[in-house]
Amino acid sequence: MSKDQLIGAVLLIGGIAGIIIYGYLVFLTEWALAVLKLTGFIAVAGVLGILAWIGYTLATTPPPKPIEEIEKELEQEAKESEEKESG
């Protein structure tokens, strides 16, 4: 058995165990409401955390240069390289 197969088997067993434990906590214990509240909070906080991260990234990333400016730089570099080759 390769390392990848072993990791896959551990993930499979862990996932099934997690489903069973979650089902037990939700349906067979007095903590069902707390478990559902916690699960809902974690799900919403995860989605909103990703949204906040995207917003932060957009707010702190400088805008790209205009295409015209990039074209001018490329033309200048081409002229300089032609002058070096001919000179």
pLDDT band at 5 (very low <50, low <70, confident <90, very high): very high
pTM of the model: 0.65
Q: For the chain, which residues make up each domain, given as ranges?
A: 1-30, 33-87
* Long-range pairs for 68-75: beta carbons < 8 A, 24 or more residues apart: none
Over range 17-42, report the average pLDDT.
97
pLDDT digits 0-9 by tens, 49-86:
999 999 999 999 998 888 988 888 888 988 888 888 77
Residue 28 pLDDT grade (very low, low, confident, very high; cuts 50, 70, 90): very high
Interatomic CA distance for residues 10 and 57, integer angstroms: 35
pLDDT category, 87, cuts 50, 70, 90? low
